[in-house]
Amino acid sequence: MSQQLNGSGAMDEAALREKITWVTARLSALRSTIGEVIVGQEAVVEGAIIGLFAGGHVLLEGVPGVGKTMLVRTLASAVNLQFSRVQFTPDLMPTDIVGTHVLIDDGRGGRSFTFQQGPVFTNILLADEVNRATPKTQSALLEAMAEGHVTVGRDTHPLSQPFFVMATQNPLEMEGTYPLPEAQLDRFMFKLDVPFPSRAELHEIVVRTVRNELTTVSAVLTGEEILAVRKIALGCPIAHHIVDFAIRIVEATHGNAKGAQQYLRAGASPRAVQALIVGAKLRALFDGRTNAAIEDIRHLATPVLRHRVLLNFDAEADNVNPAQVLETIIAEVDRTL
């Protein structure tokens, strides 16, 4: 899809509005398709869709059985993209993810090493129960998530675009899990907590699943369309005071040891600001707006930051979690507006 850009690189507003109808129609079809399988979980579905279109990656956390893997499978089925799944276990090796060189007989008596691609060479990668593998294996995804390519030996292999990782993990206090390293957590655009379904939602889950035939999902989007929407979103204008609000929230996670900041051991990285701005642009576009708002930043702040801040022993002693700290920080920044 072609775009008209002004001198600053931002799309002309009239041209942008012409694209909005197309974007909202594609998004409506995607949400409707996912909703045929996934019951409730609106916030989680929204975060997963924004992550896919933004080119970010999403970490889903919740107890077993709440539909984390099903959400990823449904999203993958709703887009016409290549999909791979890796079940992370303690004995999984890095080569099981990125691939390795194997010795091949050419049939004429000669032999040569050929690179055999691993499951990371896909468009959508489901890293299931990612925190059940050792840190060495977890780090095999780091280069792919950050750079869009992998290096094996002396050779660098690019990944297809779009490339999107959705990882699931069980709560870290569960037995047999390994905390993800901070450097890898920072590569995830969002960390989304998947809550336990309500009673009404459980009734609907039973109705949809305990029967002879299960719902099938048809693809409603292509990779080219996803990349086109991403390009449109990045061309959306955003006001200086919106960007400043996002920066001030991230800066507050590095604040003085008072108030909510007393529970922080380390704050968020600059990637958090980038994730907030891109996410706000996409959320506005999906809502039929040409400009991101303060509310978009406020809405996305917790899923963007909850895995990027580190709490200290005082937080553990007072039974304080990252979401509570961030809620207080956001409210404090709000009062300065």
Looking at the structure, tell me whether residues 87 and 188 fall in a common domain.
Answer: yes
Neighbours of 122 (CB within 10 A): 21
Looking at the structure, tell me whether residues 6 and 60 fall in a common domain.
Answer: yes
Looking at the structure, tell me whether residues 290 and 328 fall in a common domain.
Answer: yes
Spatial distance between the Cα atoms of 147 and 58, rounded to a whole number of angstroms:
16
Whether residue 89 contacts residue 125, with contact meaning beta carbons closer than 8 Å, is answered with no
pLDDT band at 1, cuts 50/70/90?
very low
Q: 178, 200, 235 — which closes off a domain? A: 235
Whether residue 58 contacts residue 192, with contact meaning beta carbons closer than 8 Å, is answered with yes
Looking at the structure, tell me whether residues 86 and 99 fall in a common domain.
Answer: yes
Whether residue 164 contacts residue 55, with contact meaning beta carbons closer than 8 Å, is answered with yes
Mean of the per-residue pLDDT values of the chain:
81
Looking at the structure, tell me whether residues 74 and 148 fall in a common domain.
Answer: yes
The two tokens of residue 134 are 């050792």
Q: Say which CATH number the domain at 65 has.
A: 3.40.50.300
User: Over pLDDT 90: what percentage of the chain?
Assistant: 10
The two tokens of residue 326 are 């961030």
Q: 235, 259, 283 — which closes off a domain? A: 235
Looking at the structure, tell me whether residues 335 and 187 fall in a common domain.
Answer: no
pLDDT band at 303, cuts 50/70/90?
very high
| Cis upstream peptide for 162 (omega within 30°) | yes
- Name which of 132-136, 148-152, 214-218, 293-297 the model is least confident about: 214-218
Count of domains for the chain = 2
What is the DSSP track for 245-285?
A: HHHHHHHHTT--SSGGGGGEEE---HHHHHHHHHHHHHHHH
Instruction: Using CB atoms within 10 Å of the CB of residue 281, give its burial: 0 to 12 exposed, 13 to 18 middle, 19+ buried.
Output: buried
User: Quick one: pLDDT at residue 5?
Assistant: 45
Q: Which whole number is the average pLDDT over 310-323? A: 81
Q: What is the distance of C-alpha 6 from the center of its chain?
A: 30
Spatial distance between the Cα atoms of 233 and 174, rounded to a whole number of angstroms:
39
**Structural domain that includes position 181:** 1-235
Spatial distance between the Cα atoms of 243 and 304, rounded to a whole number of angstroms:
15
User: Quick one: pLDDT at residue 21?
Assistant: 80
Structure confidence by residue, pLDDT tens digits, 150-209: 887 777 888 888 888 888 887 766 666 777 878 888 889 999 888 887 788 788 778 877
Structure confidence by residue, pLDDT tens digits, 259-298: 666 777 777 888 999 999 999 999 988 888 878 889 999 9
Q: 178, 212, 235 — which closes off a domain? A: 235
Q: Say which CATH number the domain at 277 has.
A: 1.10.8.80
Whether residue 217 contacts residue 36, with contact meaning beta carbons closer than 8 Å, is answered with yes
Looking at the structure, tell me whether residues 74 and 222 fall in a common domain.
Answer: yes
User: Quick one: pLDDT at residue 235?
Assistant: 80
Nearest to 121 by CA among 88, 161, 91: 161
Whether residue 208 contacts residue 39, with contact meaning beta carbons closer than 8 Å, is answered with yes
Q: Which whole number is the average pLDDT over 297-303? A: 92
Structure confidence by residue, pLDDT tens digits, 26-42: 888 888 888 778 777 78
Whether residue 130 contacts residue 191, with contact meaning beta carbons closer than 8 Å, is answered with no
Whether residue 336 contacts residue 245, with contact meaning beta carbons closer than 8 Å, is answered with no
Q: Which whole number is the average pLDDT over 122-131? A: 87
